[in-house]
Amino acid sequence: MQRPVADYFRQNLYVTPSGMWSQPYLQRALEIVGPERLLFSTDYPYQYKPGKPGRLFLEETALSPNQKELFAHGNWERLTQSAKR
């Protein structure tokens, strides 16, 4: 390989908690792929629970405001826009 494995992860993978709303998991994913490669998602309706746990997870995360915006919707918008080109 021409570069470290971590470079390939940061440039080719997207990571989503997909219903695994764990702050340690999110922080580890952030360390591995960076804030531009995190996507927020849920496994609705399979893991649906009343009380808005997904929203609470997003609101309570230790991400910076800019990172929260990327995680909540910015990365998805950028990814889908690039796919349309």
Q: What is the pLDDT of residues 5-62, one digit of tens each?
A: 888 888 888 988 776 788 999 998 888 889 999 999 877 777 667 777 888 888 899 9
Residue 15 dihedral angles phi and psi, to the nearest 5°:
-125, 140
What's the pTM?
0.79
Kindly tell me the sign of the dihedral angle through the C-alpha atoms of 77, 35, 67, 50.
positive
**Structural domain boundaries of the chain?**
13-84
Kindly tell me the sign of the dihedral angle through the C-alpha atoms of 47, 49, 55, 59.
negative
Report the pLDDT value the prediction gives residue 66, as an integer from 0 to 100.
Answer: 96
